[in-house]
């Protein structure tokens, strides 16, 4: 009887040591943004147009953020310098901080500019950095003419909760991927599969990245590890896989090569 008791204690200890000890669930994670009511969204849209009258044609998305990809604007045809277009775009983002979540121009860095004939510009700003972590897919494109800014496409995010202690460190997140299968199309369109091994994970840079993860209920701000998977070359990844630091889930898989 005594030996059975000690055997039970031993087995319990083994099982506990084999599990990931996570402690109490972090009920604050993740931050979730929910869609607005129709009346609430209409009220915000009225404010947006009032702030940017009379030439603004963009609309807000269902969360009350700037989100129109493009809209029709009658170009006045007057030339506009690149520097003035950039300054106008920055000021518009801050002026519309309630919808863009851009609070100052210092945090803005230009990624690209585009124009056909210097009468209308598209200014693209880099992803939002939040607590030294990049938020995926938050490049903002501002369209500007001599009339001023007439559309803001995309947005940043307001305050986000990020856990101080993660459940899955980088090593355990990588281990979650071993044995999983990636499917891609060959040059003829036929499907191919790659099974992830420890060696295919390589030694690529693996920063923490915040992924706005859309669900039926809203946008969940997931903190992830960006893990590269080797394919053609050991020098660069063929995929990025984003693994949630708290749940171990694969939140996003991104193929980096074309077939």
The tokens of 62 are what? 């269902």
Rounded to an integer, what distance in angstroms lies between the CA atom of residue 130 and that of residue 115?
Answer: 30
pTM of the model: 0.87
Measured CA to CA, the distance from residue 209 to residue 165 in angstroms comes to 15
Q: 208-214 and 120-125: which strand pairing?
A: unpaired
**Omega prior to 243 cis, within 30 of 0:** no
pLDDT recorded at residue 51: 97
Residue 109, C-beta contacts closer than 8 angstroms, at least 6 positions apart: 125, 126
**Looking up tokens 């009379």, which residue turns up?**
54
In this prediction, residue 234 carries a pLDDT of 84
Segment 212-257, tens digit of pLDDT = 999 999 999 999 999 999 988 888 899 999 999 999 999 999 999 8
Residues shown for the chain? 259
What would you report as the CA-atom Rg of the chain, rounded to the nearest whole angstrom? 24
Helix (H) or strand (E) holding 95: helix 82-95
Query: Would you state the pLDDT for residue 14?
Result: 32
Residue 250: strand pairing partners:
243
Interaxial angle between packed helices 38-52 and 82-95, expressed in degrees from 0 to 180 and rounded to the nearest 10: 140
Per-residue pLDDT of the chain (259 residues; tens, 9 = 90+): 434 333 333 333 332 333 333 444 688 999 999 999 999 999 999 999 999 989 999 999 999 999 988 888 888 889 999 999 999 999 999 999 999 999 999 999 999 999 989 999 999 999 999 999 999 999 999 999 999 999 999 999 999 999 999 999 999 999 999 999 999 887 777 888 999 999 999 889 999 999 999 999 999 999 999 999 998 888 889 999 999 999 999 999 999 988 7
Question: d(Cα 139, Cα 54) in Å, to the nearest integer?
Answer: 25
CA gap 212, 136 in Å, rounded:
7
φ, ψ (nearest 5 deg) of residue 95: -60, -30
What is the pLDDT, as a whole number, of residue 222? 98
90 token code pair: 């920055």
């Amino acid at each position: 009887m005594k030996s059975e008791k000690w055997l039970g204690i031993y087995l319990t200890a083994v099982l506990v040591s084999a599990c990931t000890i996570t402690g109490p669930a972090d009920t604050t994670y993740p931050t979730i943004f929910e869609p607005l009511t129709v009346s609430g969204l209409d009220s915000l849209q009225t404010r947006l147009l009032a702030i940017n009258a009379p030439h603004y044609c963009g609309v807000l998305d269902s969360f009350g953020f700037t989100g129109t990809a493009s809209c029709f604007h009658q170009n006045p045809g007057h030339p506009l310098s690149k520097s003035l277009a950039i300054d106008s775009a920055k000021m518009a983002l801050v002026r519309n901080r309630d919808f863009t979540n851009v609070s100052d121009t210092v945090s803005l860095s230009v990624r690209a500019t585009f124009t056909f004939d210097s009468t209308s510009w598209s200014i693209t700003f880099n992803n939002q950095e939040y607590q030294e972590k990049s938020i995926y897919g938050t490049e903002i494109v501002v369209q500007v003419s001599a009339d001023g800014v007439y559309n803001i496409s995309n947005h940043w995010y307001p305050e986000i909760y990020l856990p101080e202690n993660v459940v899955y460190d980088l090593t355990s997140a990588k281990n979650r991927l071993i044995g999983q299968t990636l499917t891609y199309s060959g040059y003829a369109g036929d499907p191919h599969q790659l099974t992830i091994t420890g060696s295919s994970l390589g030694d690529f840079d693996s920063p923490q990245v915040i992924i706005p993860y859309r669900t039926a209920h809203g946008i969940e701000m997931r903190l992830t590890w960006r893990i590269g998977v080797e394919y053609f070359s050991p020098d660069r990844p063929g995929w990025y896989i984003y693994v949630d630091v708290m749940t171990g889930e694969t939140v996003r898989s991104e193929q980096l090569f074309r077939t």
